[in-house]
A and B are shown apart, each in its own frame.
Chain A
Amino acid sequence: MFESLSSRFTSAFSSLRSRGKLSNADIENTCAEIRQALLESDVALSVVENFVAQIREQSLAVLPTLQSGSNQGQAIFNIVNAALIEILGGSARRIRFAKNPPTVIMLAGLQGAGKTTLAGKLAKFYADQGNTPLLVASDLQRPNAVTQLQIVGESIGVPVFAPEPGNGVGDPVKVAKSGIDFAKSKLYNMVIVDTAGRLGIDDDLMKQAISIRDAVNPDEILFVVDAMIGQDAVRTSQAFLDGVGFDGVVLTKLDGDARGGAALSIASITKRPIMFASTGEKIGDFDIFYPDRMASRILGMGDVATLAEQAKKAFDGESSAKLEAKFASGEDFTLEDFLEQLQAMSKMGSMSKILGMLPGAGAMKKQIENFDESEIVRTKAIVQSMTPTERRDPKVLNGSRRARIALGSGRKVSDVNNLVDRFSAAQKMMKQVRNGAMPAGMGAMGLPTMPKGPAKAVVHKKKSKSGNPAKRAIEDGQ
């Protein structure tokens, strides 16, 4: 059974953390667990071996210096966490703006990685910050890639430069070049060039990408890669690095359940920062990439920072301030507040996505996968069928009121009972939290220990071959 990196790490470390004194054999066992976990999560073999060797070496060095009784498991945990953050990029980097506009961003990557969608997201992200981006349609290969970009551009109100219809017609290098000229003449301060998907081993198409690069002289070339990619991440990212070259990486489809592996491989091998994360099909499902958050996520500590930020975005300032004040003054959290939160929460995206970011999510994987999104809709319907008085004071909910609410919301009375019971329990828990008892699993992470530097990856020296059996046979015969 496939287990996520996060849940494996969680179990490997919980055994370490619960004991005081570690033996070398413990370290070996942990290293073996980490190796297996990383492989199952698609971290490239060469990266795994180096990472594990680094962890082993640092752990062995640190242990004798620790006083007995101090938490040695915690120390190893810190070593792993710090090493992950180090490899994932140390600190996030933003787009470098050109001194003389326009700032040119070129996208490159395999077929189906999500470049066109990302082009739109990037344009929206920077337009929202007051820039004036222009999208350039240089994917003239895939049927209707041009149309796709035009539709995306229109939906976000960003102009698209698309002089050629695509579907195999037109020269992508010329389009890119005239796109820049157009942007200059119309004073756009940013140009985002979408390009066709290409394979790392396709020399002709790689040369074409190089020609586009040389024609537009980009400030940033972003390598767009699907977070679900497996061991091929090494060969492909190396081929793009050696070919067209790139300055930063964008991970797409991070809203899936494949987490961590590719990020670790690519960052480690190419030494290029992962700059953005694409996390859904909607234009707004996009964020800058935070190495520390990713490391936490990999380690099963959850992505609390992202969650908090999304919550801040979703809950408008006024209602969250009101809630905070209420909380602080010791007032009760009512069903009315609950309804407001449910509404804000639906704005944040799917519940499974939200839950997935919480600490310990790795261990709750099954429940999260099985989370029934329509449950929220049903819950909302029940609360909406209550009168304001009932929402403020659920104690008034007698049998006949409950029956009326059930009828009004199209649910059973037992559903109403259930909700009221769960709500009271939650209310009680909130009181406890307010009184200073932290929920389990939120303790401080302890002091960081500094690793020596990123694990050096040995790039697999073998020539990349085609996965096509027929082609491989020919290549091997040569």
Chain B
Amino acid sequence: MSLFSKFIAKVRGTNDFSAADWHELEEELLLSDLGPTLTKTVLEQARKIKSENANEALSHILTSTLSSKDRSMLLGETTTVIMVVGVNGTGKTTSVAKLAANIKKSGKSVVMAAGDTFRAAAVEQLQTWGSQIGVEVVAGKTNGDPASVAFDATKRAKELNSDFLIIDTAGRLHNKNDLMAELEKVKRVVEKVFPINETLLVIDATTGQNGLQQAKIFTEAVQTTGIILTKLDGSARGGVALAIENEVDIPIKWIGTGESVNDFAPFEPTNYIQGLLS
């Protein structure tokens, strides 16, 4: 019997959950990167539940640890502006392209801004995606000012009356103050034209507890509104994103499950959580 079904049976009262089972549950949660604090919270609540409807009971504990914020996309009045941020190599550029393709498929117009002017060939990387998915990319010079690229892209989106603008940004470690200040500047400059409706933080599912620091500091700097959890096609479970929901109250909105443009989907909390314990 899988741990999940054992747990359901326990909740139903049809089976006992042995000390070893509790240990296994703790281990599973820790191995999924929920971290020691959230693991303890979940275990405490799990020990208490007894209910006829086990599925509901389980969703109850888990949803009570999650953010209660809406997971749907926050829309703007005219052009919806989405800025994608995160530490190096998490999958920002890929996610920008995936999100753009997703939006385009739904029949809306979209422009992408190549705001990573720092990493070698990052602009070309987004341009390659752009021509693959048929979405216009606004780019400036490598080593140029990312804020000015973002500003040009915002003007372009306005001119085209585009439904969406998605801004890619350079990867930055959250403990580098100068780079965080640069990101704040990008935001300020864009917001002279349009408010930024969504600031999505890309978290790599392999990330451990450092993801919490990333979420806190990026949120302080640029008011993160959602998370894209990438690389869930690997063996990592991405549990730190749940810890982020719990502690920083930012909802996971999208998941990335591969390197091609269609490996992308809205986040489904119930499925995800059952997957953790299966």
Mark A residues whose CB is within 8 Å of B: 2, 36, 39-42, 45, 110-114, 141-145, 147-148, 150-152, 155, 167, 199-201, 226, 228-233, 235-236, 239, 253, 255-258, 261-262, 281, 350, 352, 369, 371-373, 460, 464-473, 476
Contact = CB atoms under 8 A, between A and B. Distances in A.
B87 A228 contact: yes
B163 to A, nearest CB: 25
A468 B232 CA distance: 5
Interface in B29-83: 30-33, 35-36
Contact of B33 (A111, A200, A232, A236): A232
Given A2-B212, A469-B272, A476 B2 contact: yes
B235 A476 contact: no
Nearest to A234: B31
Contacts of B237: 232, 467
A82 to B, nearest CB: 25
A256 B205 CA distance: 17
B161 interface: no
23 contacts: A41-B208, A42-B208, A111-B91, A111-B231, A112-B91, A113-B89, A143-B124, A144-B121, A147-B120, A148-B122, A151-B120, A229-B208, A230-B210, A230-B211, A232-B236, A233-B208, A253-B89, A253-B173, A256-B87, A256-B210, A352-B176, A467-B232, A468-B232
Interface in B239-254: 239-240
Contacts of B209: 2, 40-42, 230, 258
Given A42-B210, A350-B177, 17 more contacts: A111-B91, A143-B129, A144-B128, A148-B120, A148-B121, A148-B122, A167-B128, A229-B208, A230-B208, A231-B31, A235-B235, A256-B175, A352-B175, A369-B175, A467-B238, A469-B274, A476-B2
A244 to B, nearest CB: 16
B177 A352 contact: yes
Question: Which interface residue of A167, A468, A471 has the most chain B CB atoms within 10 A?
Answer: A468
B206 interface: yes
8 closest cross-chain pairs (CB), A and B: A230-B208, A112-B89, A42-B208, A258-B210, A469-B275, A232-B236, A148-B121, A151-B120
Nearest to B278: A476
B21 interface: no
Interface in B84-127: 87-91, 118-122, 124-125
Question: Which interface residue of A231, A465, A471 has the most chain B CB atoms within 10 A?
Answer: A231
B262 interface: no
A235 B204 CA distance: 16
A284 to B, nearest CB: 15
Contacts of B90: 112
Nearest to A41: B209
B257 interface: yes
B191 interface: no
A469 B268 contact: yes
B206 A230 contact: yes
B153 to A, nearest CB: 19
Interface in B184-241: 204-213, 231-240
A98 B242 CA distance: 47
A142 B236 CA distance: 21
A467 B259 contact: no
Contact of A228 (B120, B207, B268): B207
Interface string B254-277: 010101000000001001101100
B235 A239 contact: yes
A350 B129 CA distance: 34
A155 B120 CA distance: 10
B159 interface: no
Nearest to B207: A228
B234 A257 contact: no
B16 interface: no
Contacts of B272: 469
Nearest to B238: A467
A478 to B, nearest CB: 12
B36 to A, nearest CB: 5
B121 A464 contact: no
Given A40-B35, A476-B2, A147 B240 contact: no
Given A143-B129, A147-B124, A236-B235, A229 B206 contact: yes
A230 B213 CA distance: 13
Contacts of B27: 45
Contacts of A229: 206-208
Contact of A45 (B31, B173, B271): B31
Contact of A373 (B30, B177, B205): B177
A370 B159 CA distance: 40
A141 B107 CA distance: 29
Contacts of B255: 468
Given A110-B206, A142-B125, A199-B235, A231 B30 contact: yes
Question: Which interface residue of B27, B87, B121, B237 has the most chain A CB atoms within 10 A?
Answer: B121
Contacts of B35: 39-40
A281 B235 contact: no
A459 B35 CA distance: 19
B208 A143 contact: no
A285 to B, nearest CB: 11
A91 B207 CA distance: 28
Interface string B169-188: 00001111110000000000
B36 A39 contact: yes
Given A201-B234, A467-B236, A469-B275, A152 B120 contact: yes
A36 B31 CA distance: 14
